[in-house]
Each structure stands twice: as C-alpha cells, then as structure tokens.
Structure 1
Amino acid sequence: MFSVEQREFICDTFSKHASWRECRQEFCKKYPASAVPCKTTIYKTVERFRTTGSVLNKKKVRRRYVLTTEKLDEIGAQIETSPTKSLHLLAVQCGVSKASVQRATELLKLRPYKISAVQQLLPLDWEARRRYCRWLQESVASGLLDPELLFFSDEAWFTLKGNVNSQNNVYWCSENPPVVREVPSHDPKVGVWCAMSAHKVIGPVFFEEAINSYRYVELILLPFFQELTEDEKMYGYFMQDSTTAHAADFSMAVLEEVFGERLITCGLWPLRSPDLNPCDYYLWGTLKDRVYVNNPHSLTELKDNIQREIANVSREELRCVWRNIFRRCEACLEAGGRRFESFL
C-alpha cells in the first residue's frame, strides 16, 4: 500500500518524535493524496526496519518439495520392510517431517489398518480344529445334525470403558491385510452369557463373579432350557467350551439329561477357537460396537444397552451368520487348522 519512500519517511519521522500520532500528522502533510497509515502500520513498519534493516516486506520463501521420487521410494521400502512402523519413526529414519510421511502414504495409496487381537493358537490346536470342522461338515451332510437346531454358547466381559484402544496397533498396506495380534485375556467388569442359533439369541444372563458349576447350572443352564422348544430339546445340538465350570461332572450331567450325546464340548470343540464360534466372531463384536454409543455411565445402563441390542438382532443377521459358520469351516480346513482369515 505504501511506497518505499513513504515507509522510510514513517521510520525517520517516528524516530524524531517517538509518537505515532505526530508521525501520522507529518505524513499527511507530506503526502496529502495518500492513504493515511494507522497506528498498527506505523509500529509494524518501524519494527520491521529495526529488526531487518529494511522497510520492505519479508519475501515468502517457497518450501522445497521434499517428496521426490527417490524419497517416496525410500519411504515405500521402509514400510514394506516394517509395515507396523509408526509415522514418527518413519519420519526420523527418512529425514523428513511427519506431515511429509503422511502425505507419502497417501501418494503410495497406503492406509493404516488396525490389528485385531486374537487368542494364540498352538500347533497342537491345528489338528483339533481340523477334526471339529470335518465332523461338523460330515454330520450335516449325513443328516445327523440339523444346522437349524444347533446352538452355540459363550461368555464375554464388558467394561464401562468399552473396547481396548488399539490406535497404535496399525499395519500400513494398500489393502486390508489378514494380520492379527495375539494377546492374553483381560479381567472383566460385567459377565454376559448368551446362546444363539440360526433363529434366535437366548440371553443375556449377567454375572459379576466367577462362574462355578453350581452357578452355571442354576443361573444359566436351567433358564436356558426353559427357552427351548420341544424339537430343540429332542434334536438340537449344544456347543460350549471346556472351561472348568462347563466340563464339571455336575454341569455335564445336567446337560446330558436334555441333550444326551448331542453336545459339542471338551473332546470335540477345539481349544482357543473363537473364530469358529459365532458368539465370538459376530455377537460380542457387534454388541461392543453398539452398546457404548451412548456412553453408559453405570453397569445398569450398560446392561440395559446389552439387553436392548440383543433384542434388536434380526433374523436376517442370524441367517447370514449361520451361513458363515460353514464357510469358516471350509477356510479352516484349507488353512490346515491355522488362522484362516485370509481364506474367507
């Protein structure tokens, strides 16, 4: 707005009078046809001269583009070698800013995928998983087992804090990779038991202390039996894992009174196989996505949310989940009993 001559006049006049008002008055007399400098303009002009020795505005320096083809190749190679590396560490190792690394991942069409936490599989589990999957396929094919009358059951723990934050567990890749992170179980706050079939979800049953065989029978099994139809009692199969409370003589005796030999439990059900149980791979994950939406502040609110969301599970969802059971068995056999997410 002001010429170099005018800016120099402002600096000279201000140094003589040390007053922005007198400086402005002198300026108006000298340049009556010019715009009048305000207090801020006068101070900034004087400060610029004192700081830089010039009345000219500081030239904007265009930042050098650091993401050259060579630098992109370097960042891409680093990610390919170690796809779980953080952006901060990538920036340090590649000698660029974190923002540049973020931009590089966009140019390379890479996205951060969260790593799922799963139970660790042992080599001894592989054959047990194959044996169960073959048994289920053969039992359905022969007509021994009606999949419409098959019940899976499980327990899960819900806390007021919700799911564990896995923001830092990411895997940089152009497609969602079959990567999981194996972790041990963690302590619960509210226990929930459910059983589900192709038609319905029975439960929830809540508990806040460890389940022994007596509580399992009184709190869970007996109410569960009351929800079954006559066909489900006479021809249905019931799956449970082999925890101590489930496999106890008392629990097994009560179950055998209803299901006889139609039990999928210890000896047949493979250990550490939540990926084969729809309660684990569907129900608990679905509930944990939904019950924390309104941020429950008490266990009572959390329980109300769980009951409501279980009641909202539709028949269509259950039918889809049941079809997925047999796809998972096929994938498990194809993977040799190992993790099979990449085969789905």
Structure 2
Amino acid sequence: MADEDLSMNEDQLLDNLDEANGEHEAELMNRLTNEQRLQIIEFYYQNQCSVRNVFRALRPIYGLHNRPSEQTINAIVTKFRTQFTLLDIKPTTRMRTVRTEENVSESVAEDREMSIRRRSQQLGLCYSTTWKILRKDLGVKPYKIQLVQELKPNDLPQRRIFSEWALEKLAENPLFYRQILFSDEAHFWLNGYVNKQNCRIWGEEQPEAVQELPMHPEKCTVWCGLYAGGIIGPYFFKDAVGRNVTVNGDRYRSMLTNFLLPKMEELNLVDMWFQQDGATCHTARDSMAILRENFGEQFISRNGPVSWPPRSCDLTPLDYFLWGYVKSKVYRNKPATIPALEDNISEEIRAIPAEMLEKVAQNWTFRMDHLRRSRGQHLNEIIFKK
C-alpha cells in the first residue's frame, strides 16, 4: 500500500509540474512581441524547420537563460501553421443590443399607452431589452385601464345627497352598515367557446373539424342579498318548468315573497334596511308595495323613502366585490352545462368567509366618505388606492 501511495503522489506531482510548466510557457509566449515571434518563424524556416536549431540560434540574441524554450517556439510555430497569424486573437463576443434608457424614456413620455412589442419595434430594440429598461431601469409598471359607469350631470348631486344621508346614519350609529341588506342580479354566461389559437388537431390530413356555436349562448340570472353577516342566496330565476329566464316584475316579486322574506325570518334579520337599484322590475308599483309592507320606510330605492342614485354600481358591494369575485372562480373547471355552472356559483358563494364580508361592508362606509368629499364624482381615491 505504501508503494502504491508513493506512486500516486509521484504521478500527482508530475501532473502539477506539467500544468505549471504549461502556464509558464503560455506566460512567456504572451510576453514576446509580434516582431520577436516573426523572428522565430524566420529562423524556423532558415534552419530546416527544426525547433532545436531555432532554440540554438536564439542563444546569441537572448542569452543562455532568457531565450524562449523549445515548447514556446513549438507553440508559436503551431499557431502560425494552424491559425495563419502571430497575433493574439481575442475571443469574439456576441454583439449586444445597446440599452438606451433615454430613448425609451422619451418614448414613454410621448405615448404611455403603447405596447412593449410596438415600442421595441419602433426603437429597434428586442422585446426583452425594452421590458428590462421599462421595469428595472426606469421603474415603471403596467397598469390596466379602469372601467367606470358614465355619470350624467344630474347624477352628481343625487350621489352627494345619498352620501350625506349615509354618513348621518353612521354618525348616529357607527355599525349602521351592518343593518343594510344590499341586493342585485347578475348574468352568468356559460363559458362554452373554443379558443382556436390554443386548439390544435394533429394529423396527416385536414380533419375538417368544426364546432357549432349558438347565436345566443346559455346563461343564468342570479340574485343575491349581501350584508355584513352573510349572503342570502344565490337565487336562480327559472320558469314553471325549470328553464332559466331573465328577471321581470312578476318573477322579482315572487323572489321577494317566496325566497327573500322567508330567509330573513329564518335568519332572524330584524330592523334591516333593504337596498335595490332602479331597475324597472324593482320599482314597479306592486314591487314597491311589497317592500313598503315589509320594510316600512327602511328601504333604499329609486322612488323609495331613501333615493338610490342612478348609475351608482360603485356604491353597492355586489357590484364592486361579489360578482367580480365569484366570476373569477366559477369558470376555473370550465363548466359545460348550466347546472354545473349553478353548482359552482352556489359553492363559491357559500365559501366566502364572514370576515371578508365584514370588510366589504366596512369598505362601503369609506366609499360614502370619499363620495361626499368628491361631491358625487367617481371614487378615484379608492379605484386607484391613493
């Protein structure tokens, strides 16, 4: 074992010595000027292409100990024969696109809505470089445009008056927001279309595959009532044989009488205010009669004891929270039928925690304050979270 270890140590020492010699020869070769390398090549061909003869011929010029070694001479000759040059060739590097922050910054200042792809084409930069300049160098971020309901001039004073009424009630009772049952309907369309860009059929021949799409896709109309403690619903509007229908006066009143009022009694919801928007089926004479009979003067509606301002979906939690939240979840498993879609809607609504609904209702109080300060205008401070 000792002889084997000694042999292994000797081999390792020889390898380290060869490596050191190689590095030393490379260093000597790099120290030679181009004229000195040319001189070595001339001596090489003048002395019968013999490296040993060149080594001897260089002794009078460099001295006994300063002349290049035979390994260095051989490396110079080999380089000349294989690369046809005596110069040091630096490795080529890929030309990188110049990142001009100034040009991109000026482009953004001129047009903030231009896409990254269009901007990169206009500036002659690649897409990834343009993205890095925008995000990392300039520190700008992409923001989506916010869609809001168009307001008419006469809407502003009505919105301001409603905010003042709400803030007065909150001043009397800071928990007044818990006494309001907000209500609304929404349409959920059956998501049954095919995205042709993401659908491919592989084969040797054209399969002539088509999919027929209905002119009017199926949908279900859903009603919900939301308050700080929970959600009443969902209620799906259907006709006598169970087919999905839209809401009208008779169907709305049937929902109030046969669904909402029994549910409120079951949940022991007393001394509650009821809110609805100004849809015709809501404000029909018979519908208003049912509300007055059951809520007295404690309901909010167009033509009601407390007037609900028109075009104010930003003031009801169902529009600024519930419908968007539920629609972002119910299509994840791509329901193929209306019953499957309805099951998803019911499941997602039941899964909303009470703590979230409390925060949503509290947000309504903040909106009333912003609405008064904006004098009925859009709630920019909330929309853009200033």
1: CA distance between counterparts of 2:279 and 2:354? Answer: 30
1: CA distance between counterparts of 2:121 and 2:326? Answer: 40
Q: Which residue of 2 aligns with 1:105?
A: 134
Equivalent pair of 2:190/2:217 in contact (CA under 8 Å): no
Equivalent pair of 1:146/1:236 in contact (CA under 8 Å): no
- Return the letter of the residue paired with 1:211: V
Structure 1 residue 136: deviation in Å? Answer: 0.8
Structure 1 residue 143: deviation in Å? Answer: 4.8
Q: Which residue of 2 aligns with 1:277?
A: 316
Alignment of 1:154 with 2:184, yes or no, is yes
SS in structure 1 of the partner of residue 147 of structure 2: strand
Deviations 1:202-259 (A, max 9, x none): 0101133331110101134531011113897652110000111001111111111101
Q: Which residue of 2 aligns with 1:47?
A: none
Aligned alpha-carbon RMSD (Å): 2.9
Equivalent pair of 1:155/1:192 in contact (CA under 8 Å): yes
Q: Percent identity?
A: 34
Alignment of 1:310 with 2:323, yes or no, is no
Q: Which residue of 1 aligns with 2:297?
A: 261
SS in structure 1 of the partner of residue 142 of structure 2: strand
Equivalent pair of 1:234/1:259 in contact (CA under 8 Å): no
Structure 1 residue 60: deviation in Å? Answer: 5.0
Q: Which residue of 2 aligns with 1:65?
A: 97
Equivalent pair of 1:126/1:338 in contact (CA under 8 Å): yes
For residues 188 and 336 of structure 1, do their structure 2 counterparts lie closer, same or farther at Cα, with a shift above 3 Å needed? farther
TM-score under structure 1 length normalisation = 0.69
Q: Which residue of 2 aligns with 1:339?
A: 378
SS in structure 2 of the partner of residue 217 of structure 1: helix
Alignment of 1:250 with 2:286, yes or no, is yes
SS in structure 2 of the partner of residue 227 of structure 1: helix
Q: In the alignment, which of 209, 222, 243 is matched to residue 192 of structure 1?
A: 222
Equivalent pair of 1:139/1:145 in contact (CA under 8 Å): no
1: CA distance between counterparts of 2:217 and 2:139? Answer: 39
The runs of 5 or more residues in structure 1 that have no matched partner are 1-53, 166-185
Q: Which has the larger radius of gyration?
A: 2
2: CA distance between counterparts of 1:222 and 1:244? Answer: 20
For residues 205 and 102 of structure 1, do their structure 2 counterparts lie closer, same or farther at Cα, with a shift above 3 Å needed? same
Q: Which residue of 2 aligns with 1:235?
A: 271
Equivalent pair of 2:224/2:234 in contact (CA under 8 Å): yes
Deviations 1:161-187 (A, max 9, x none): 39xx9xxxxxxxxxxxxxxxxxxxx99
Deviates more, 1:96-105 or 1:243-252: 96-105
The runs of 5 or more residues in structure 2 that have no matched partner are 1-82, 85-90, 196-215, 238-243
Q: Which residue of 1 aligns with 2:170?
A: 140
Structure 1 residue 75: deviation in Å? Answer: 1.4
Alignment of 1:130 with 2:160, yes or no, is yes
TM-score under structure 2 length normalisation = 0.62
1: CA distance between counterparts of 2:157 and 2:173? Answer: 24
SS in structure 2 of the partner of residue 324 of structure 1: helix
Deviations 1:264-313 (A, max 9, x none): 11051111111110011111121112212222222111110110111112
Equivalent pair of 1:78/1:90 in contact (CA under 8 Å): yes
Structure 1 residue 124: deviation in Å? Answer: 2.3
